[in-house]
Every structure is written in structure tokens, then in C-alpha cells.
Amino acid sequence: MRFDILTVHPELLESPFNYSIIKRAVEKGIAEIGILNIRDFSKDKHKKTDDYAFGGGAGMVMTIQPIADAVEHLLEQRNYDEIIYLTPDGIQFNQGIANNLSTKRNLMLICGHYKGIDQRIRDKYVSMEISIGDYVLTGGELAAAVVVDSVVRIIPGAISDETSALSDSFQDNLLSAPVYSRPSEFKGMKVPEILLSGNTAAIEKWRMEESLRRTKERRPDLL
């Protein structure tokens, strides 16, 4: 699966993909991540990528030319299943959308800044607009990192223990049960007895009950 991300701050996207599962998925060839600097496509003599908004008002708008040329450059190389614009006015991202995107071959992600990008880019090229929640970020880069991370980790083969991604919180609309590791007692704090019992059926039942209890308590909206 391939991701191409358009941004004016490629540095912001360097480290998120260079660790752990995502790094290994890239090394294994399961995921390919291309990062394109929108500024490289600017025909302005100062490589400008933003300008004042027509009609006035505070804040700069990312102009159409550099983004359109960057998008066209990518479209010459391959077809994209979705061209995604990261924006607070998009549909709210969730596990279901991540699962759906993980079945695609090529995704393009456009990161905006300032007051956003020229609407004509959205009208002509964008097939999907995603927000990662009801709060405002400086730009779409951190949101793009969230989307790519959540999609890559569920591509078959990305996690060595195949069942692990399936037992995540949200995969069955339930929060995960609490987890413990050694030692079984630390400064008087004990691990629940059942987890040390070796009784797999009883442990499975306990985990399901804890999952339900947590979900009822913290996210009744999921039930």
C-alpha cells in the first residue's frame, strides 16, 4: 500500500514514520510512504505557497498553483483510490474509516495550513475530507500522521501477531481490558489473581467482562 503526503513542512512527518511498527512495515515493503514538499512545485520567484484571501479577512490561504501541480505530478505516476484533505471540517476519523482505508492501494493526503487551501483544489481533486477530532491543529501534518499510523498498523503482516490488531480497543467497539506484566506484586500492588491462574477460559471471560465494564463506565456511547 502506498501513501503520498503533500505538505509545506516535510520535517514534521519524518519522525512519526521512523519508529516501531510503521518503520518495520516500510522496511518489509508492506507500506510505502512518499512525502512531497508543496513548495518545490511553486512557480513563484520566492517559492511562495500562500497569499491573502479574496474578500479580505485575517489569515493566509494556500494557493492553488503549487498544490495543483503537485497533485498532477503524482497523478501522472499512478491512480489514487482516494485523495484525502485533512481539515477540521472533514468527517470525523474513526476505526471504521481506518479499516476501510487499509483495503486501498494508493492514497494521497493533502495537508493544509493557515486558513486552509484554495477551495478549487477541494472541488477538483479531493475525494474525501477527514478531521481527527473537534479541536484545531496548526496544520494537517499531525492529522496525516495519525491517519497513516492507524491504517498501516492494520495492514495484514504489519503486526507480527496477526490477532493483536484485531483485539485492539475499538475493533469490536469495546475498550480493551486492563493489562499487567511482571512482577506479580510491586510495592504491595497485586495483579488480579485470575490472570496468574493459567485457566485460559476463565481469563478470557474476565477480560470480556472488564472490557464491557470499562466501556459502560467510560464510553457508553459505544455500546
**Chain residues in the site for ligand 6GU (CB under 6 A):** 86-88, 130-133, 135-137, 139-140, 143
DSSP class of residue 93 equals P
- Given the complex with ligand 6GU, which of 7 and 87 has the nearer CB atom? 87
CB of 91 to ligand 6GU, least distance (A): 10
**Distance, CA of 48 to CA of 208 (rounded, Å):** 55
What are the distances in angstroms from CA 221 to CA 88, 142, 208, 209, 217? 22, 26, 18, 17, 10
**Distance, CA of 78 to CA of 86 (rounded, Å):** 21
CB of 190 to ligand 6GU, least distance (A): 41
Pairing of strands 106-111, 82-92: parallel
CB of 135 to ligand 6GU, least distance (A): 5
Write the single-letter amino acid at 139. Answer: G
Asked if 2 contacts 107 with a C-beta cutoff of 8 angstroms, the reply is yes
**Distance, CA of 30 to CA of 159 (rounded, Å):** 11
- Given the complex with ligand 6GU, which of 96 and 133 has the nearer CB atom? 133
**Distance, CA of 223 to CA of 216 (rounded, Å):** 7
At 28, phi and psi to the nearest 5? -75, -10
- Given the complex with ligand 6GU, which of 66 and 140 has the nearer CB atom? 140
CB of 205 to ligand 6GU, least distance (A): 38
**178 C-beta neighbours (distance < 10 Å), count:** 12
CB of 101 to ligand 6GU, least distance (A): 14
- Given the complex with ligand 6GU, which of 17 and 85 has the nearer CB atom? 85
CB of 88 to ligand 6GU, least distance (A): 4
- Given the complex with ligand 6GU, which of 21 and 111 has the nearer CB atom? 111
Strand partners, 22: none
- Given the complex with ligand 6GU, which of 119 and 197 has the nearer CB atom? 119
Pairing of strands 189-190, 128-131: unpaired
- Given the complex with ligand 6GU, which of 50 and 215 has the nearer CB atom? 50
CB of 93 to ligand 6GU, least distance (A): 8
